[in-house]
């Protein structure tokens, strides 16, 4: 058994397990070398040998308590036949899908597995390579976040284009959410079949919605995904990350099918500790900016976070992903500090 899985399942633990979102990423020189060898970013995601290599790099370097599959949330759009490109310096660029005929064209869910086969192969290889006490986290983007890219054509602060489409073309929007929900269910089932121990769902743009929209288009599709996948794999835990939803985290907390709630850095820790943590295992909250700061500043924040969350099961992580300018020494400092704690 692993410390991470014990914590995910709400068991009493001696210290928080630790892993980071984007722990395999550009802040690591090893990653940059492998990325250059692969060619494009998509080539790296679809090369199971190299994707396995970069997934293992932070485990071997820092000793994180869990590994997360190296992939990208937008691979499922690519597998559905959407034109997805990753442009250096610009990020993902997607050919928008808005019209009914465009939606119908990509509504071929059984076809996704051929394109995504290398991802499943990466999972299988990782399960052979990882230490037995280091679980593998599979993941997917939530339907709303995927829809923002599909409609906007790229990442857009505030997701205004997608929100207008939601309001003004609601019938087509509902079709998109339904399609992405069903495709994600199939995708995650295959990840678990390949060996993923835990699944995380990222709703990175959930905070762009108002409260009613969050409940309808973030929480409900995620809930459907989790319920449907758990019908086949009832023992697979789910981590849900509805980023920037403020006190609506309480609504996510009330859903029994969600095993862990990942929290961002914008929520008050005292509120989390009082309103969420007694009911649900939590993960996250450290602002990634502190990994770019002097050791003394980072340590002050580390102590605050771990002190505030010490009464209940807690997985140490960030409020979002590691940034490319993060200090490798600071990452090591955090991991070593967390591993030295006694709760």
314-315 and 281-284: which strand pairing?
Answer: parallel
pLDDT of the residue at 90: 84
For the segment 200-241, what is each residue's pLDDT rounded down to a tens digit? 999 999 999 999 999 999 999 999 999 999 999 999 999 999
- CA 186 remoteness from chain centre: 17
Active site residue 26: yes
pLDDT of the residue at 89: 80
**Measured between alpha carbons, how far is 269 from 282 in angstroms, rounded to an integer?**
11
Whether residue 305 contacts residue 269, with contact meaning beta carbons closer than 8 Å, is answered with yes
Q: What is the mean pLDDT of each run of 10 residues along the chain (343 residues)?
A: 94 95 96 95 97 98 98 98 91 93 94 97 98 98 98 90 96 98 98 98 97 98 98 98 97 98 96 96 98 98 96 96 97 98 87
Active site residue 164: no
For the entire predicted model, the pTM comes to 0.97
Catalytic site residue from 65, 72, 203, 264: 72
In 3-state terms, what secondary structure has residue 139?
strand
Active site residue 22: yes
Catalytic site residue from 15, 22, 243, 259: 22
Cα–Cα distances (Å) from 245 to 202, 253, 266, 285, in that order, read 13, 12, 9, 13
What six digits make up the tokens of 242?
Answer: 């509805």
Catalytic site residue from 31, 46, 120, 149: 149
**Measured between alpha carbons, how far is 55 from 128 in angstroms, rounded to an integer?**
13
Active site residue 72: yes
Active site residue 35: yes
pLDDT of the residue at 226: 98
Catalytic site residue from 26, 124, 216, 269: 26
Catalytic site residue from 35, 46, 217, 259: 35
pLDDT of the residue at 20: 98
Write the CATH number of the domain with boundaries 3-339: 3.20.20.210
């Amino acid at each position: 058994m692993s410390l991470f899985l014990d914590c995910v399942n709400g068991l009493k633990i001696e210290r928080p397990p630790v892993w980071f979102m984007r722990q395999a990423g550009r802040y690591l020189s090893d990653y940059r070398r492998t990325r250059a060898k692969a060619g494009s970013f998509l080539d790296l995601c679809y090369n199971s040998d190299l994707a396995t290599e970069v997934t293992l790099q932070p485990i071997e370097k820092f000793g994180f308590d869990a590994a997360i599959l190296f992939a990208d949330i937008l691979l499922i759009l690519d597998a559905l036949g959407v034109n997805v490109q990753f442009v250096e310096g610009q990020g993902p660029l997607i050919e928008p899908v808005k019209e009914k005929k465009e939606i119908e064209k990509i509504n071929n869910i059984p076809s996704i597995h051929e394109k995504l086969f290398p991802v499943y192969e990466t999972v299988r290889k990782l399960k052979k390579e990882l230490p037995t006490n280091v679980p593998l986290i599979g993941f997917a983007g939530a339907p709303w976040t995927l829809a923002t890219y599909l409609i906007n054509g790229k990442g857009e602060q505030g997701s205004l284009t997608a929100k207008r489409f939601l309001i003004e073309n609601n019938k087509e929007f509902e079709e998109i959410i339904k399609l992405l929900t069903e495709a994600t269910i199939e995708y995650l089932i295959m990840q678990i079949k390949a060996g993923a121990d835990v699944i995380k769902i990222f709703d990175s743009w959930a905070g762009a919605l108002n409260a009613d929209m969050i409940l309808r288009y973030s929480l409900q599709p995620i809930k459907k995904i989790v319920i449907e996948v758990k019908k086949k794999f009832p023992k697979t835990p789910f981590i849900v990350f509805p980023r920037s939803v403020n006190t609506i985290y309480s609504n996510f907390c009330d859903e029994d099918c969600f095993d862990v709630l990942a929290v961002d850095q914008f929520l008050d820790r005292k509120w989390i500790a009082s309103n969420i943590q007694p009911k649900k295992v939590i993960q996250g909250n450290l602002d990634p900016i502190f990994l770019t700061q002097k050791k003394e500043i980072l340590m002050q924040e580390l102590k605050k976070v771990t002190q505030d969350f010490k009464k209940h099961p807690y997985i140490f992580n960030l409020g979002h992903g590691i940034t490319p300018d993060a200090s490798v020494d600071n990452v090591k400092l955090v991991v070593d500090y967390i591993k030295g704690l006694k709760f």
